Amino acid sequence: MNDYQAPADLLKGKVILITGAGDGIGAQAARTYAKHGATCILLGRTVSKLEAVYDEIVNAGSVGNAEPAPEPAIVPLDIKGATPSHYQQMTQTIIDQFGKLDGVLHNASVLGHLSSFKDIEQQEWLDVMQTNLNGTVFLTQALIPALEKADNASVIFTTSSVGRKGRAFWGTYAVSKFATEGVMQTLADEYQNKSLRFNCINPGGTRTNMRAQAFPAENPDTLKTPADIMPMYLYLMGKDSIDVNGQSLDCQPKR
């Protein structure tokens, strides 16, 4: 589905929450979903970045430039410090304001420090798990009532190649992504034959700050940009993937 061509109005009338929407792949996904008609809820920890994405969305057209883009909402939240009650309050606000939630892109993650397994520090392990795994779990739990109010909602988790096969020195981040795949599979199995679907996306090496942190010597020009990998993000969020549940899909062939 990396050559998927989305209709301009694919997400018209849909309400979609994107975590880590201020930068990198999350920011591009928010711009892309809005361009295809969605009202985007931009969740992230750096308000200035969320505001910049908000401005880009309202200044760009939607539905193939035929309409103004639906005004996005900003949710400033640091997932590292958030509790289930923050997520529950946010869900209630979403239900009050929009009446439903059609999709979630769990995108926010941190890499942490790459190190040998024996040198992983306990606090670092806990911090990475808090953002990459626990936040994803408790946010998903809280959002389910809003997702159940939509027809055929789609929940997308973000995985990585190291979430499928372990790699030396990537211990903490890799385990957080293995666990993310487990969360997705569990939910997909629980909700099979229901109107909610759960899948993972593996972006593959993509030109962002996180990739530069992981591979500082790499020439970023050799990488796909976040815009290049958007067909899969559109496919999994829109109606053409309505029967896809429990899959972990790659945006790029293995490098």
Options 6, 11, 18, 25; binder of ligand NDP; rule CB under 6 A: 25
Beta strands in the chain (DSSP E): 15-19, 39-44, 61-62, 67-68, 73-76, 103-106, 154-158, 197-202, 248-250
173 counts as catalytic: yes
Q: Which spans in 36-80 are helix H?
A: 47-59
Our CA dihedral for 58, 31, 79, 137, rounded to 10 degrees, sits at: 130
Decide if 71 contacts 58 (C-beta within 8 A): yes
Which residue's Cβ lies closest to ligand NDP?
Answer: 24
Name all contacts of 28-32 with Cβ < 8 Å and 24+ positions apart: 28/225, 28/226, 28/227, 28/230, 29/105, 29/107, 29/226, 29/230, 29/233, 30/57, 30/72, 31/56, 31/57, 31/60, 32/227, 32/230, 32/233, 32/234
Q: Which is nearer to ligand NDP, 157 or 191 (CB)?
A: 157
Contact between 209 and ligand NDP (CB under 6 A)? yes
Stretch that binds ligand NDP, among 115-123, 188-196, 200-208, 231-239 (CB under 6 A): 200-208
Options 37, 44, 72, 103; binder of ligand NDP; rule CB under 6 A: 44
Say whether 158 sits in a helix, a strand or coil.
strand
User: Could you tell me the smallest distance in angstroms from the CB atom of residue 134 to ligand NDP?
Assistant: 11
User: Could you tell me the smallest distance in angstroms from the CB atom of residue 41 to ligand NDP?
Assistant: 13
Interface mask toward ligand NDP for 99-128; x: CB under 6 A: --------xxxx------------------
Question: Dihedrals φ, ψ of 158, to 5°?
Answer: -110, 120
Q: Which is nearer to ligand NDP, 127 or 240 (CB)?
A: 127
Options 24, 37, 72, 112; binder of ligand NDP; rule CB under 6 A: 24
Contact between 171 and ligand NDP (CB under 6 A)? no
Contact between 238 and ligand NDP (CB under 6 A)? no
Options 35, 36, 86, 211; binder of ligand NDP; rule CB under 6 A: 211
Place of tokens 């942190």: 213
Say whether 107 sits in a helix, a strand or coil.
coil
Q: Give the whole-angstrom CA distance, residue 22 versus residue 15.
A: 18
Contact between 49 and ligand NDP (CB under 6 A)? yes
The tokens describing 195, both together, are 């109107």
Catalytic residue among 33, 87, 173, 233: 173
Contact between 134 and ligand NDP (CB under 6 A)? no
Decide if 34 contacts 57 (C-beta within 8 A): yes
Stretch that binds ligand NDP, among 43-51, 97-105, 186-194, 231-239 (CB under 6 A): 43-51
Active site (catalytic) residues: 173
Give me the residues that bind ligand NDP (CB under 6 A), please.
20, 22-26, 44-46, 49, 78-80, 107-110, 131, 158, 160, 203, 205-206, 208-211
